[in-house]
Structure 1
Amino acid sequence: MRKLVYGMNLTLDGYIAAPGDDIGWGAADDGGSGDELFQWWLERELGIDLMLYGRKLWEAMSSHWPTGDQKPDATPAEIAFARNWRDTPKVVFSSTIDAVDWNARLVTGDAVAEITRLKAEDGGPMRVGGATLARAAVRAGLVDEYEVVTYPVLVGGGTPLFPALDSWVKLKLVETRTFPGGVVMTRYETRR
């Protein structure tokens, strides 16, 4: 059975995007944590066998990473991330787009049923990304691990990291790390 990981950057007040889907707070002033944090994300992504994307995150990722290693100012970590992104199989969940590329396949049906099916397969870890898709996986109890990277900024509203839940989800803290500039990563496993 595969493990499902949900990891995102978020603000101290719990949002993955400010109003208007603005994620500029994550790059505006990282206090010097950028390179070290990006390297941490790269190491985590290298251990993922299958990426699961909602439409918005797919559009953001596929607009940059297919050629991210060809930019003249790309760092070695960005080059490695772009190559890994292209090579890693992806599943995109959307009922509003017609086609996907870059080693991805499109699922237009029931996301929870498909994620449940994928989890039951043999294979390495999967990562779920995108607020709507991840919320469905969290609410269905499918997420095994949470990687939460908290930036020291308050935005006052936007897209929350977690959905409203019907019941509690108990977690076990398994790792913490502080990056320069006060960015803090906490990693939790779901207690079953």
Structure 2
Amino acid sequence: MAKLIYHSTCSLDGFTTDAHGDIDFSEPDREVSEFVNDSLRPIRTYLFGRRMYEVMRVWDSAEAVADQPDYIQAYVPIWLSADKIVYTRTLAEPVGPRTQIERRFDAPTIRELKETSAHDLLVGGATLASHALRAGLVDEIQMLVAPVLLGGGLAMFPSDVRQTLELTEERQFDSGIVALNYTVRH
């Protein structure tokens, strides 16, 4: 059975965006980018809400990131090889490659997807991930903690979820970012 992995970057005080919705604080360097690419390469299906999907669409073409360093551009083929399921009521139809639209988050459908998938799945974006966490669908949490305090914004975790986690990996990068991987105990 495939795992559903919640992957995100957050500030030390637990926010994935600042109070204005910006993610500038999480700009990765070469070391972090290569680590993230290696972590995400085996993932074959991404589950996103509309806002996260729109942020990630920059990877739809190599031309959009042609002015970026090679370690940033290296994510393009990883993104293009993955299927994307976007949960939205506002997008009428898929706008990128390998993308399907779902109108609502349905926990039984996600459970079935986990049971039938040969590869692990990723849920991205704090809002959609909160639904998956509440439904008990998340098996692993991969977080990159940036050395910054934002004081507010979009919280990485919903306040109404309590789960026991087991630390399975930790790594500190020269930039001060720390990668923490946890298995969710069901």
So what's the TM-score if we normalise by structure 1? Answer: 0.90
* Cα distance, 1:182 vs structure 2: 1.2
Find the aligned partners of 1:35 and 1:148 in 2 and give their Cα distance.
Answer: 17
Find the aligned partners of 1:143 and 1:47 in 2 and give their Cα distance.
Answer: 17
The answer for the alignment partner of 2:76 in structure 1 is 82
Find the aligned partners of 1:190 and 1:183 in 2 and give their Cα distance.
Answer: 22
Q: Residue 182 of structure 1: SS of its match in structure 2?
A: coil
Find the aligned partners of 1:147 and 1:45 in 2 and give their Cα distance.
Answer: 10
* Cα distance, 1:148 vs structure 2: 1.1
* Runs ≥4 residues deviating over 6 A: none
Q: Residue 61 of structure 2: SS of its match in structure 1?
A: helix
The answer for the alignment partner of 2:177 in structure 1 is 183
The answer for the alignment partner of 1:99 in structure 2 is 93
1:4 and 2:4 aligned: yes
Find the aligned partners of 2:132 and 2:65 in 1 and give their Cα distance.
Answer: 34
Counting aligned pairs with the same residue, the percent is 31
Contact 2:44 2:81 in 1 (8 A): no
Tell me which protein shows more helix as a share of its residues: 1
Select which of 120, 138, 155 maps to 2:133: 138
Contact 1:54 1:132 in 2 (8 A): yes
The answer for the alignment partner of 1:47 in structure 2 is 42
Q: Residue 75 of structure 2: SS of its match in structure 1?
A: helix
* Cα distance, 1:132 vs structure 2: 1.3
Find the aligned partners of 1:98 and 1:121 in 2 and give their Cα distance.
Answer: 27
**What RMSD over aligned residues (CA atoms) do the two structures have, in Å?**
1.6
Find the aligned partners of 1:67 and 1:12 in 2 and give their Cα distance.
Answer: 32
* Cα distance, 1:130 vs structure 2: 1.4
1:57 and 2:52 aligned: yes
- Cα gap change, 1:110/1:66 in structure 2, threshold over 3 Å: closer, same or farther? closer
- Cα gap change, 1:173/1:109 in structure 2, threshold over 3 Å: closer, same or farther? same
Q: Name the aligned partner's letter for residue 95 of structure 1.
A: R
